Amino acid sequence: MPLKEQHVVVLGGTSGIGLATAALAAERGARVTVVSSRPDSAHRALATLPTGTAAETADLTDTHQVSALFDRLGPLDHLVYTAGDPLALMTVDTMDLDAARALFTLRYFGALDAVRAATPQLRPGGSITLTSGTAGLRPVPGWSVPASVCGAVEALVRALAVELAPIRVNAVRAGMIRTPLWSGLPEADREQLYAQTAAALPLGRIGDPEDTAEAYAYLMEQRFATGTVLTVDGGGLLA
């Protein structure tokens, strides 16, 4: 069990993909800490995760809180960044530039700042796994800003893999996954989106968080992978 007794920190680890990744890492013997900006979310996550899991709260857009978080956490072996706010879709002709900038705040700059603060604490053989999405490779109208975030994260992964070596830096490129990030849509619209997407996929279904968690675990355990972006999308890039 490569993760046994290793310290895995999952930022955004209290719901969706992050929660599933935390649960899988704990199942594989890791000592897991999940981090959320909301204490209530952290408490709910702890109720579902194995005994011994810890939870912290921090605003990942506040660099002082991020630095203090990693000072408290101390040494770690693997950093996983899955934090993200609901996607803001907008066409160029109706774009709110402030909203466009805001989408980078947590998903890109939050990840970059977490890497900055965590790197001095990473033990030899450690890894960092960030989160991207297939929109960066196959956007549709209205997705120019989220696609740009995905592209920026993937470029960051390659640059950090060189700069931080021998720390391994990778990312998971997720397709449509059933997570709370889509909860802003009315239920009927959300289920219609899931059904339409599933019908177009070679595997005939959208992903569950547990499907994607396997990819994060693989990248933590795979000691010869760095600068890699692993796609988990049910074949969406082929559809």
Provide the annotated active-site residues: 132
Number of Cβ within a 10 Å radius of residue 46: 15
Task: Give yes or no for a contact between 75 and 7, defined as CB atoms under 8 angstroms apart.
Answer: yes
Cis, peptide link before residue 146, omega less than 30° from 0: no
Task: Give yes or no for a contact between 81 and 12, defined as CB atoms under 8 angstroms apart.
Answer: yes
Residues 6+ apart with CB under 8 A from 78: 3, 6, 7, 8, 9, 25, 30, 126, 127, 128, 129, 220
Task: Give yes or no for a contact between 175 and 134, defined as CB atoms under 8 angstroms apart.
Answer: yes
Q: Measure the CA–CA gap between 218 and 25, rounded to whole angstroms.
A: 10
Q: Look-up: residue for tokens 């396997």?
A: 214
Q: Measure the CA–CA gap between 134 and 136, rounded to whole angstroms.
A: 5
Q: Which of 87, 93, 125, 100 minimizes the C-alpha distance to 2? A: 125
